[in-house]
């Protein structure tokens, strides 16, 4: 499926999803990297060692979720835009998803955006609460609050401004 459509299968996603008790306890990284290619910026950007060192530069990333703080530095460094942070602890009904963003226009804090799944389908609206660029290489990280039931689906946002 991934090779034909660019969309991972449910089994692939399950294989990189933290256990529910970890998801329910703190913000945590999810690395949806499924192809062996020479790449390791997620590991080198991680200040806590949560993304484990690669034995071979072509290895798929492995995560020690107990070390992850949800800082999202790895999100900004992944050239494949395959790394996200999900924080299910935000509130009873809402979660935060931190996603890489490389488009224009850049969303503004407090802006309502369309939230898209892996297939590019709008699944809900979300509110942007933070936009930052941890490294000066262009990739921003957008933190968006979404209904909890969509947190594991939202992987992109689209800015829709009626006045532009």
pLDDT value of position 164? 58
Give the strand order in the sheet containing 83-87: 28-31, 83-87, 94-101, 140-147, 122-132, 112-116, 156-158
Give the rounded percent of residues in the chain with a pLDDT score beyond 90. 86
CB 157 within 8 A of CB 128: yes
* Reported confidence tier of residue 1, pLDDT bands at 50, 70, 90: low
Cis amide bond preceding 105, omega within 30: yes
Examine the pLDDT at 151 and tell me if it is beyond 60: yes
Number of neighbours of residue 103 by Cβ within 10 angstroms: 12
What pLDDT is attached to residue 69? 97
Token pair 């009904």: residue: 93
Can you tell me the distance from the alpha carbon of 85 to that of 98, in angstroms, rounded to the nearest whole number?
A: 5
CA distance 159 to 3: 28
Average pLDDT, the chain: 94
Query: Each residue of 28-52: pLDDT tens digit?
Result: 999 999 989 999 999 999 999 999 9
pLDDT computed for residue 6 by the predictor? 74
In sequence order, which residues have a C-beta less than 8 Å from that of residue 46 and are 6 or more positions away?
A: 73, 74
Q: What is the mean pLDDT of residues 141-148?
A: 98
Would you give the DSSP letter of residue 107? P
- Res 144: pLDDT: 98
């Amino acid at each position: 499926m991934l090779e034909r459509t660019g969309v991972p299968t449910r089994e692939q996603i399950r294989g990189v999803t933290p256990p529910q008790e970890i998801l329910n306890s703190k913000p945590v990284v999810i690395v949806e990297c499924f192809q062996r290619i020479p790449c390791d910026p997620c590991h080198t950007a991680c200040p806590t060692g949560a993304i484990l060192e690669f034995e071979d530069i072509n290895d798929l990333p492995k995560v020690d979720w107990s070390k992850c703080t949800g800082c999202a530095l790895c999100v900004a460094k992944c050239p494949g835009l395959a790394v996200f942070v999900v924080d299910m602890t935000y509130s009873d009904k809402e979660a935060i998803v931190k996603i890489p963003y490389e488009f224009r226009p850049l969303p503004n804090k407090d802006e309502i955006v369309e939230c898209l799944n892996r297939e590019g389908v709008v699944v809900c609206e979300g509110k942007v609460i933070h936009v930052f660029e941890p490294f000066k290489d262009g990739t921003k990280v957008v933190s968006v609050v979404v209904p909890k039931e969509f947190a594991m689906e939202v992987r992109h946002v689209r800015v829709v401004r009626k006045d532009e």
